[in-house]
Amino acid sequence: MGVLHITLLGAQNIGHLGAWFSGDLWGLPREEFVEPRGAGGAFWISIGSFAVPLLLLGLLVSHFGRRGVRVPPSVGWGLAVWGAVGAAVIEPTPMLLILLPAVLLIRQRERTADGRPSAR
């Protein structure tokens, strides 16, 4: 989801790259953070969004999974609450999709040494 978000919204806002890397976003007035628009708004919905940290979290969870390390269910619960609140605030939204990995993290099982799920 993170790659898709960055790819689609990044491509859609590529016209703002010059402003992003020329320092135009430095020293923005407070109003730009309250109601972002233009290059600032494009930044916050693309590379400044939660897509990059979520992508990195997914890579970390995947890394742990390959080693049989269980991620604490609190990570799944945190994602579930965030996705539910986001979906309650704005519709239509893809934030409900966050519930899929959240439920998987909450309900994951520990693995035995040979890779099979352990009985709980």
Condensed to tens digits (0 to 9), the pLDDT of residues 72-103 reads 999 999 999 999 998 898 888 788 888 999 99
Amino acid 25: pLDDT: 82
Alpha-carbon Rg for the chain in angstroms: 18
Amino acid 94: pLDDT: 80
pTM score: 0.71
Query: Does residue 117 surpass a pLDDT of 70?
Result: no
- Per the listing, tokens 């400044």 go with 48
What number is the average pLDDT over the span 93-117? 79
Q: Per DSSP, what are the bridge partners of residue 111?
A: 117
Contacts of residue 99, Cβ cutoff 8 Å, sequence gap at least 6: 79, 80, 83, 84
Domain ranges of the chain: 1-49, 50-114
Query: Does residue 51 surpass a pLDDT of 70?
Result: yes
